A and B are shown apart, each in its own frame.
Chain A
């Protein structure tokens, strides 16, 4: 079945550094979503991508829908301590219902 891989699994960076993470799959998706989960809370949607090649920004966050529709990238510029959390990618499929597959997550730690 469909499965998503996220890399890196975890990362430790200095405050102010830029961050890059990606999500890959052997399957094609219609939608790519990026969520962030703070400790003790549910995931919150950061960016939604709907078309192959689409590049979308949300403040310091930029995400891209890969041309092959099998991958997506998330970049965070000038990281700050509140960026700490787990970042999940999710691939969406349009069938008779909306099927969503979540990746295993990338854990981000920011060192002040």
Chain B
């Protein structure tokens, strides 16, 4: 079966701009979680969506937002980009009943803010 697809793979943006990242989960998976990965901070949880509803949210400023569509595809948006937002953004999908043990991660979007 097709894996989790994240687009784009690489992105370079200028400070102050906004960016939208996309995640297509595995077919049938209704839960999508987003993580930010940086060398110093590891994997930091951003938010989780299930059936178009945000079910859980991490400790990130309001500039980070997301949404999920009826086909379970998810997008995350970062507004007013800062240099510190440079990171690998990972999306993971799962069947709701499997929870974290059923996470399948995408390859990520590498965002560089200059």
Give per-residue flags for B70-106: 1 if the beta carbon is below 8 A from chain A beta carbons, else 0.
Answer: 0000000000000000000010100000011101111
- How far is the CB of A97 from the nearest CB of chain B, in Å? 5
Binding site for A on B (CB under 8 A): 4, 33, 35, 42-43, 45, 48, 50, 55-56, 90, 92, 99-101, 103-108
A sample of 17 inter-chain contacts (CB < 8 A) reads A31-B101, A40-B107, A42-B4, A42-B92, A42-B108, A45-B101, A48-B101, A92-B99, A92-B100, A97-B55, A98-B100, A100-B33, A100-B45, A100-B99, A100-B100, A102-B42, A103-B42
Bits for A91-112, please: 1 = Cβ < 8 Å to B, else 0: 0101001111111110000000
Tally of A interface residues using CB under 8 Å:
23
Partner-B contacts on A (CB < 8 A): 31, 33, 40-45, 48, 50, 88, 90, 92, 94, 97-105
Residue of A nearest to B42 (CB): A104
A45 with B103: CB separation less than 8 A? yes
Across the interface, do A98 and B108 meet the contact criterion of CB distance under 8 Å? no
Residues of A within 8 A of B43 (CB): 43, 88, 102
Among B56, B101, B106, contact of A97 (Cβ-Cβ < 8 Å): B56
